[in-house]
Amino acid sequence: MQEFTGKAVVVTGAGSGIGRGIAEAFAAAGANLVVAGIDGAPLSAAAAQLQQAYGIEVLPVTTDVSDPDAVESLAEAAYARFDSVAVLCNNAGVATMGAAWEQPLSDWTHTLGVNLYGAVHGIRAFVPRMLAHGGQAHIVNVSSMGGLTPTPQLAPYSASKAAVIGLSLTLREELLALQAPIGVSVVCPGGVKSAIMTGTAARYAAGSLSKQAQENLDRLADVVADGISGDEAGRMIFNAVRDNQFWVLPNAESIIPLVDEEYRDLRKSLNLR
């Protein structure tokens, strides 16, 4: 997919961070946008800024991606406005803190609902429409290095992001079997400047987290603050869509050694060096 002028791109979690960076990258290439997010005010502000900066059409749609009906409504709005969608970026994400056995079921439900089921709902709402339209299209699912390596005190997050990788691998094979002109990318970033850890911290009253959970929250907040910009991540994701690249690894230099270390035991069990 080399040409994006006038094509419609849907981005969830588009108000800030990676989502805003993705929107900027596609807007710079002339694409029209449907930007979705849970908080309407910053979403509308972002839409107005993007429209003014790039002279494109931008449709903001307040959306809770954990709600399948809301995502279906997002798809209906996108297709009513633009007739077709070339790219869907399932980017919205949240995190909760605490040991796997300590986090309440509500935290598990919240995290899996946004991170995993948000992608599932996006695929179920948009892929049938993309197939019916018949043109070139692309699905981007944003996972995390937390889906490839263990992240203590973030079990729901890590579980959801690992599931997104499995979902993306399977979706790619299913679309290939159909010979459908729909590409798939899965993004596994490390530190990217965003509001995710700020939002996580806001869920908890002061002193309510265990010592271990608070230490990991503080450490991850530093990782995010020191990370690459959302714009840089967005450009990498844009390039992956353009080049039909499956794996997208922002921060690859820091991720690869961690993945290599994690799977060393697996290679040993298979008698591999």
Active-site residue set: 157
What is the C-alpha R_g of the chain? Answer: 18
Cβ neighbours of residue 187 under 8 Å, at least 6 residues apart?
Answer: 18, 140, 141, 142, 143, 233, 237, 240, 248, 249, 250
User: What burial class does residue 205 get, using C-beta atoms within 10 Å of its C-beta: 0-12 exposed, 13-18 middle, 19+ buried?
Assistant: exposed
Answer for the pair 169, 186: CB distance below 8 angstroms, yes or no: yes
Q: How far is CA 273 from the centre of its chain?
A: 34
| Residue 147 DSSP one-character state | G
Both tokens of 191, joined, read 């530190």
3-state percent helix, strand, coil for the chain, nearest multiple of 5:
55, 15, 30
88: nearest Cα among 132, 33, 159 = 33
Give the N- to C-terminal CA distance of the chain in Å, as an integer. 39
